[in-house]
Structure 1
Protein backbone atom coordinates (compact mmCIF):
# COMPACT_ATOMS: atom_id res chain seq x y z
CA UNK A 1 0.00 0.00 0.00
CA UNK A 2 2.82 2.43 0.86
CA UNK A 3 4.53 1.69 -2.46
CA UNK A 4 1.30 2.51 -4.29
CA UNK A 5 0.99 5.82 -2.44
CA UNK A 6 4.62 6.73 -3.21
CA UNK A 7 4.19 5.80 -6.89
CA UNK A 8 1.04 7.87 -7.12
CA UNK A 9 2.75 10.80 -5.40
CA UNK A 10 5.69 10.48 -7.79
CA UNK A 11 3.32 10.57 -10.78
CA UNK A 12 1.65 13.69 -9.45
CA UNK A 13 4.98 15.40 -8.81
CA UNK A 14 6.15 14.50 -12.34
CA UNK A 15 2.91 15.91 -13.77
CA UNK A 16 3.41 19.12 -11.79
CA UNK A 17 7.00 19.43 -13.01
CA UNK A 18 5.85 19.00 -16.63
CA UNK A 19 3.10 21.57 -16.13
CA UNK A 20 5.56 24.05 -14.59
CA UNK A 21 7.90 23.63 -17.56
CA UNK A 22 5.01 24.11 -19.99
CA UNK A 23 3.93 27.28 -18.17
CA UNK A 24 7.50 28.63 -18.15
CA UNK A 25 7.75 28.14 -21.91
CA UNK A 26 4.34 29.70 -22.47
CA UNK A 27 5.27 32.65 -20.25
CA UNK A 28 8.52 33.21 -22.17
CA UNK A 29 6.61 33.10 -25.44
CA UNK A 30 4.05 35.60 -24.17
CA UNK A 31 6.78 37.95 -22.98
CA UNK A 32 8.45 37.80 -26.40
CA UNK A 33 5.12 38.51 -28.10
CA UNK A 34 4.47 41.41 -25.76
CA UNK A 35 7.88 42.93 -26.49
CA UNK A 36 7.24 42.60 -30.22
CA UNK A 37 3.81 44.21 -29.93
CA UNK A 38 5.12 47.07 -27.80
CA UNK A 39 7.83 47.77 -30.40
CA UNK A 40 5.29 47.56 -33.22
CA UNK A 41 2.96 49.94 -31.37
CA UNK A 42 5.76 52.46 -30.88
CA UNK A 43 6.58 52.28 -34.58
CA UNK A 44 2.93 52.82 -35.52
CA UNK A 45 2.64 55.78 -33.16
CA UNK A 46 5.74 57.31 -34.73
CA UNK A 47 4.35 56.80 -38.25
CA UNK A 48 1.01 58.30 -37.21
CA UNK A 49 2.71 61.36 -35.76
CA UNK A 50 4.76 61.80 -38.92
CA UNK A 51 1.64 61.52 -41.09
CA UNK A 52 -0.20 64.01 -38.86
CA UNK A 53 2.68 66.46 -39.07
CA UNK A 54 2.87 66.18 -42.87
CA UNK A 55 -0.90 66.58 -43.17
CA UNK A 56 -0.89 69.66 -40.96
CA UNK A 57 1.90 71.14 -43.10
CA UNK A 58 -0.10 70.50 -46.28
CA UNK A 59 -3.20 72.11 -44.76
CA UNK A 60 -1.14 75.12 -43.73
CA UNK A 61 0.25 75.46 -47.27
CA UNK A 62 -3.25 75.18 -48.76
CA UNK A 63 -4.53 77.87 -46.41
CA UNK A 64 -1.60 80.10 -47.35
CA UNK A 65 -2.33 79.58 -51.04
CA UNK A 66 -6.00 80.32 -50.47
CA UNK A 67 -5.16 83.60 -48.71
CA UNK A 68 -2.99 84.65 -51.68
CA UNK A 69 -5.96 84.36 -54.03
Structure 2
Protein backbone atom coordinates (compact mmCIF):
# COMPACT_ATOMS: atom_id res chain seq x y z
CA UNK A 1 0.00 0.00 0.00
CA UNK A 2 1.39 3.38 -0.97
CA UNK A 3 1.88 6.19 1.53
CA UNK A 4 -0.79 8.29 -0.23
CA UNK A 5 -3.33 5.47 0.03
CA UNK A 6 -2.44 4.88 3.66
CA UNK A 7 -2.76 8.59 4.43
CA UNK A 8 -6.13 8.77 2.68
CA UNK A 9 -7.35 5.71 4.59
CA UNK A 10 -6.11 7.18 7.87
CA UNK A 11 -7.87 10.46 7.11
CA UNK A 12 -11.14 8.65 6.33
CA UNK A 13 -10.88 6.61 9.53
CA UNK A 14 -10.26 9.78 11.54
CA UNK A 15 -13.24 11.41 9.86
CA UNK A 16 -15.43 8.41 10.70
CA UNK A 17 -14.26 8.49 14.32
CA UNK A 18 -15.15 12.19 14.57
CA UNK A 19 -18.54 11.52 12.97
CA UNK A 20 -19.23 8.63 15.36
CA UNK A 21 -18.40 10.85 18.34
CA UNK A 22 -20.58 13.65 16.98
CA UNK A 23 -23.47 11.22 16.50
CA UNK A 24 -22.96 9.78 19.99
CA UNK A 25 -23.12 13.29 21.49
CA UNK A 26 -26.19 14.19 19.44
CA UNK A 27 -27.88 10.93 20.40
CA UNK A 28 -27.21 11.63 24.08
CA UNK A 29 -28.69 15.12 23.75
CA UNK A 30 -31.76 13.80 21.94
CA UNK A 31 -32.35 11.12 24.57
CA UNK A 32 -32.04 13.70 27.32
CA UNK A 33 -34.46 16.00 25.52
CA UNK A 34 -36.89 13.13 24.98
CA UNK A 35 -36.74 12.26 28.68
CA UNK A 36 -37.53 15.87 29.61
CA UNK A 37 -40.47 15.99 27.15
CA UNK A 38 -41.83 12.70 28.54
CA UNK A 39 -41.58 14.01 32.10
CA UNK A 40 -43.32 17.24 31.13
CA UNK A 41 -46.01 15.31 29.26
CA UNK A 42 -46.64 13.11 32.30
CA UNK A 43 -46.87 16.19 34.52
CA UNK A 44 -49.32 17.87 32.14
CA UNK A 45 -51.45 14.74 31.92
CA UNK A 46 -51.55 14.61 35.72
CA UNK A 47 -52.53 18.29 35.93
CA UNK A 48 -55.21 17.74 33.29
CA UNK A 49 -56.66 14.80 35.24
CA UNK A 50 -56.69 16.85 38.44
CA UNK A 51 -58.46 19.71 36.67
CA UNK A 52 -60.97 17.29 35.14
CA UNK A 53 -61.76 15.78 38.54
CA UNK A 54 -62.12 19.25 40.04
CA UNK A 55 -64.55 20.32 37.32
CA UNK A 56 -66.52 17.09 37.64
CA UNK A 57 -66.75 17.63 41.39
CA UNK A 58 -67.96 21.19 40.89
CA UNK A 59 -70.59 20.00 38.41
CA UNK A 60 -71.79 17.36 40.84
CA UNK A 61 -72.08 19.93 43.62
CA UNK A 62 -73.97 22.31 41.34
CA UNK A 63 -76.37 19.53 40.35
CA UNK A 64 -76.89 18.68 44.02
CA UNK A 65 -77.63 22.33 44.81
CA UNK A 66 -80.02 22.48 41.87
CA UNK A 67 -81.91 19.42 43.12
CA UNK A 68 -82.16 20.86 46.63
CA UNK A 69 -83.78 24.01 45.30
The match for 1:67 is 67
Match for residue 29 of structure 1? 29
- 2-structure distance, mates of 1:25, 1:44: 29
User: TM-score, normalised on structure 2?
Assistant: 0.97
1:17 and 2:17 equivalent? yes
| Runs of 4+ displaced beyond 6 Å | none
Question: Distance between the aligned counterparts of 1:26 and 1:14, measured in 2?
Answer: 18
Alignment partner, residue 6 of structure 1? 6
**2:7 match: secondary structure:** helix
What do you get for the CA RMSD once the two structures are aligned?
0.9
Give distance in 2, aligned partners of 1:6 and 1:53: 70
Q: TM-score, normalised by structure 1?
A: 0.97
1:3-54: per-residue Cα shift (whole Å, max 9, x none)?
A: 0000000010000000000000000000100110110011001000000000
CA distance in 2, matches of 1:34, 1:55: 31
